[in-house]
Chain A
Amino acid sequence: MLKTIIRKELLENIFSFRFPLFAVLCLVLIPLGMYVNQAHLEKKIRDYQEQDRLAADAFTKITMADVMAGKVAVRAFRPPVRLSVFAQGFESVLPQYYEFTQDGFTPGEAASGDESLASAQGKIDFVFLVQMVLSLIALLFASDVIAGEKEAGTLRAILANNLPRDSVLFGKIWGGFLALWGPFTVAFLLGLIVLLAVGFPVFGGNSPVRILTLFFAASFFLLVYFVIGCMISSSFGKSRTALVVILLVWVSFQLIVPKLGDMIADLVRPIRTETEVSLAKSLLAKSLDDEMARELGRQYTLLFPNGESIPKKGAPPTPEQTKWSALEPEIEKNARSNKARQLGRIDETYRQEKRTRNSLASNLSVLSPSAAFGRLLADICGTGEIERTKYMEAVQAYQGTLEKAVFSKVTKRVMILPGGGTRMNFATDREALKAQPKFSISSATPGEAFSSNLSSLASLLFWLIASFAAAYIRFRTYDVR
C-alpha cells in the first residue's frame, strides 16, 4: 500500500510540468557551477605556485644588512583548497598571504583584491545552488503535497479506502522526495564527471570521503526542506496559502535568520573592531619601545658620561663596562617581557570578547537550517571556520619559526639619550640563513568538521524531526473535504 502511494507520487511528479523544468535547472546549473569553479581554482593554483616560488627566491636573497635595516619582509602564501570547487566559503576573502616582519605579521590581499572587482562577487558554487536554489524548489514541490491534493479532490478519493493516514503521509513524503532527489543525484554525478574530465583529482587524498559526505549532507538538507514544506502544506487547506507561507519561511531561513543572529550578537555583545585593537596595540608597543630606549639611554649616560661603553682593543673591560654588559640585556629583557605581557593581555581580552560574540552569533544563526548546512559544508570542504582558525594558528606559529630562523639573527638596540640623540647598536648571529622554512596549514579531517559543527547537525536534525512530527500530527486531523 505504501509502495503504491510512493510510486504514484513519484510518477505524478515526473509527469507534471515542474519536473522537467527542475531537472533542466539542476542538470545545467550544478555541473556548470562545478566547472566554473574548477577553472577558477586552476588559475588560483597556478598563481599560488608562482607566488610561492618567487617568495622562496626572494628569501634566498635576504642579507644580514637587510635584517639589520629592518627591511626584511617574508611572505608566506596560503595554498588554495581544492574542494573549494564545491564550497567557496571564505576562500576568496581569506588573505592570500601574510607578510612577516620582525614587528609582527600583517595580512596580505585577499583573492578578491587580486582579480577584477566583479569576479569577487560571483558565487555559483555547489553549496550556493543547494542552499539557495534547490531549497526553494524543494519547498515549492512540497507546497501542494497535501493542500494541492485536497484541492484537486483526490485526497478524498485516496482516503475513501482502507489506508491509514500515516501511510499516505509517509508515501507522499518519500515519493515526492525521490522525485527531487533523482535529478539532483544525476546532476551531481554529471558534475563529478565534468570535474574528472578537466583533471580535478576527484579520487585524490581524502577527497572521495569528503565528496561523498557533502553529497549526503546535501541530500539530507533537501529532505529537511522538503519535509518542512510538507508540514506547511498539511497546515493549510489551500495550496496558495501554503505557498505564501513557504516563501516566507524560505526568506526567513535563508536571508533573515542568519544575519539576524549576527546582529543580535552585536547588540548583546558588542566588540571593538580589529583595527581599533591593533592600533591600540601598535601605539602601546611603540611607546613601550621608546620607553625602553629612553631607559637604556638614561642608564647608559649614568654609567658612561663620556660615552665609552666598548672596551678598547686588548684592554680588559672596566667595571662600568662589565656592569653595562650585564645591565643592558637585563633592561631589555624586562622591557620585552613587560611589553609581551601587556600586549598579550590586550590580545587575550580581545580574543575572549570575539569568541563569546562569535559563538553567540553562530549559535543563533544555525537556527536556520540553511546557515547550519552552509557552515557544515564549508568545514567539510576546508573553506570554513575551522580553516580560518587553523590559518591563524599556522601564521602565529610561523612568526615564531621566523623569529628563530631570521629575525633573532640580528638584534637592534635603540637608545634614546636624555640629551636628545639616538644611538643604535647591532648584534648579529653569523650563521647564514638557510632556505625559507615551510609554511603549512594543517587541514581538518571530516571528523573534526563534524565535531565542531554539532550545533549545525543538531539544527538540521531538529528541523527534520520537528517538521515531520508536526506534519504527522496535522495530517491526522486534516480536513479532506
Chain B
Amino acid sequence: MLGTIIRKEIHNSVVSFRFVVVFSLLLVLVPATVFILTNDYVKKVDEFSSRRQGIEDYLKTYAHFNRLGGVVEPSPPPLPATALVRGISSDINLEDFEDDPLPVMFPLLDLVFVVAILLSLAALIFSYDAVSGEKEDGTLKLMLANGLPRHRILLGKIFGGTLTLFLPFLVSMILGLIVILVNPRINWTGANWGALGLVLLGVAVYVFFFETLGVLISSRHHSSSASIMTSLCVWVLLVLVVPNLSPYLASLLSPAPSRIKVSREISRLTGVERDNLGRQLQTEKMRELVKRFPVLAAPISDAEAKTRAEKDPAFREALEARTREVQAVWQEANRIQGEKAQVLSTELERKEAAQTRLARRVSMISPLADFTYWATDLTSTGLRNIAHFSDLSDRWGRAYTEYSRSKIAALQKKDPAVDWWNTAVDVSDMPRFEYKEESLAARFRSALGPLAVLLVLSICIFGAAYLSFIRADPR
C-alpha cells in the first residue's frame, strides 16, 4: 500500500512542470559548477606550486633572516575537495578578496550552495501543496474515503517527495563527478570519496527536512496560495535570516571584550605598570642590599665601581650581588605583570571562543547552517580546518623560531663580526611547512553534532506533521 502511494506521489511529481524545471536546472547547474570549480582548483594548484617554487628560488639567493619570516609564512594549499565545495575560506582570505570582491555581496556557487539554497527551495515547491492541493482538488477526500490510513498517506507523501528530489540530484551529481574523474589533475583519495558519501547522506536528511516541513505547512492551510506564502516566509527565516542573525545574537548574549581595549590594557600592564612595579621592587631590594652590604650605600659611578671591584673582593661580591638581585627583581616584575597580561588575554580568548560557540549553536536552528557545517567540516573546507591549519602553523612556527635561533647562534659563533640577521644565508636545511589534512574519522566526529541537530529537527517536524495531518480536515 505504501509503495503504491509513494509511486503515485513520484509519478504525479515527475509529470509536473515544476519537476521539469528543477531537474533541468540541476542538470545544468551542478556539472557547470563542478566544471568551474575544478578549473579554479587547477589554477590554484598551479599558482600554489609556482609560488612555492618562487619562494624556494628566492631563498637560494636572498634569505636574510630579517626578511624571511614574512616570505615563508605558511599558507593553506588548495584541497581537492574544493572541486565541489568552496567552503568558508574565501571570506577570510584577503588575497582572494582583492581579486574577486563579488563573493562579499553574493553567495558563492558550489555544491553546498546548490543543495542548501536550491534544493531546500525546490523541496518546498514540491511539498507546499501536498495536502492543501489535494484538498482543493478533492482527491484527499477520495483517498480517505477509500480507507487509506492517514499515516500511510503522510509517509507516502514525504518519502515520495524526498525521492523525487534526491534522485535527480544524484543524477546531476554523477555528471559532476564525471567531470572530476575525467580531469587528470584532480586526485581524490579514498578519504575524499568517503567524505563525499557522507555529505550525500547529509543532503538526503536536508531534503527530507524541507519536504516534511512543506507537508506540515500544507496540512495547516486550506488553500495552497496561503500555504506557499507561509512556506516561503519560513524558508526565508530559516535559510536567510537565522544564520545571519546568530552572530549578532551571540554577541548580545555572550559578549566579549573589545580586542583593542584588551591589547591596550596588556601593553599598559607590561609597559608602564611593569616599569613602576620594577622600580618599586628595585627600591625595596636596594634597601635590603644596603643593609647587607653597607658599602653599597654610597653612590658611586660605574667606572669607579669597576676599578674598586677589581681591587676589593668584598666590594666585588657586593656589586655582583646587587647586579644579580636587581636583575632578579626586574624579572620578577616582568613575571608578575606578564601573568596579569596572560590572564587578560586568556580571558579574551575564552570569551571569544564562547561567543563563537554560541553563535554556532544558535545558528544550528537553521538546517542550512547544520548542513553547511556538516559538508564543510567533512571536506576540510570549514571552520574546523581553519583551526587545524592554525594549529599546524603554530607548530611549524615554533620549529622555525627554534631553527632560526640555533642557526644564527651557530653562524655567530663561526664569525661574530657579521650581521647574520641581514645577510643571505643557506637555508636549505630549514623546516618546511607541510599541510596534512585531518583524518576522515576526526572530521566525521566533529561534524556529527550538526548532523545530529538536523536529524533531531527533522524528527520534530515530522512529528508535528504527523499530528497535524492526522487531525486535518479533508473537506
Contacts and interface: CB of A to CB of B under 8 A. Distances in A.
A and B in direct contact, judged by CB atoms within 8 A: yes
Contacts of A240: 17-18, 129, 224
Interface in A329-381: 361, 365, 371, 374-375, 378
A279 B51 contact: yes
Contacts of B47: 273, 275-276
B435 interface: no
B51 A25 contact: no
A261 B114 CA distance: 17
A21 B17 contact: no
B437 to A, nearest CB: 20
A110 interface: yes
Nearest to A375: B105
B359 A133 contact: no
A74 interface: no
B470 interface: no
Interface in B255-281: 256, 258-261, 264
Nearest to A274: B98
Interface string A246-262: 01100100111011101
A191 interface: no
Interface in A12-51: 16-18, 21-22, 25, 29, 36, 39-40, 43, 46-47, 50-51
- Interface centre among B43, B98, B108, by most chain A C-beta atoms within 10 angstroms, is B98
A89 interface: yes
Interface stretch (B146-154, B165-173, B244-252): B244-252
Contact of A120 (B21, B25, B91, B363): B91
B346 to A, nearest CB: 15
Interface in B107-124: 107-109, 113, 117-118, 121
Interface residues of B, number: 77
Determine chain B's interface SS by DSSP, over half rule.
Answer: helix
B472 to A, nearest CB: 17
A303 to B, nearest CB: 25
A132 interface: yes
Nearest to B17: A241
A18 B229 contact: yes
A124 B241 contact: yes
B233 A21 contact: yes
Interface string A173-216: 00000000000000000000000000000000000000000000
B383 interface: yes
B245 A371 contact: no
Nearest to A262: B102
Nearest to B245: A124
A115 B359 CA distance: 12
B118 A251 contact: yes
A275 B95 contact: yes
Minimum-distance CB pairs A-B, first 5: A122-B247, A119-B247, A118-B359, A274-B98, A244-B18
28 contacts: A21-B233, A47-B260, A51-B260, A90-B101, A109-B94, A112-B92, A116-B256, A116-B352, A116-B359, A119-B248, A121-B247, A122-B244, A122-B245, A122-B248, A128-B240, A137-B232, A137-B236, A148-B225, A244-B21, A247-B121, A251-B121, A255-B106, A259-B102, A259-B108, A260-B109, A274-B98, A275-B51, A276-B51
Interface of B: 17-18, 21, 25, 29, 36, 39-40, 43, 47, 50-51, 54, 57-58, 61-62, 88, 91-92, 94-102, 104-109, 113, 117-118, 121, 125, 129, 224-226, 228-230, 232-233, 236, 240-241, 243-248, 250-251, 256, 258-261, 264, 352-353, 355-356, 359-360, 363, 383, 386, 422-423
Given A50-B261, A244-B21, 15 more contacts: A90-B101, A117-B386, A118-B246, A119-B250, A121-B244, A122-B244, A123-B244, A124-B245, A241-B17, A244-B17, A258-B106, A276-B47, A276-B51, A286-B58, A371-B106
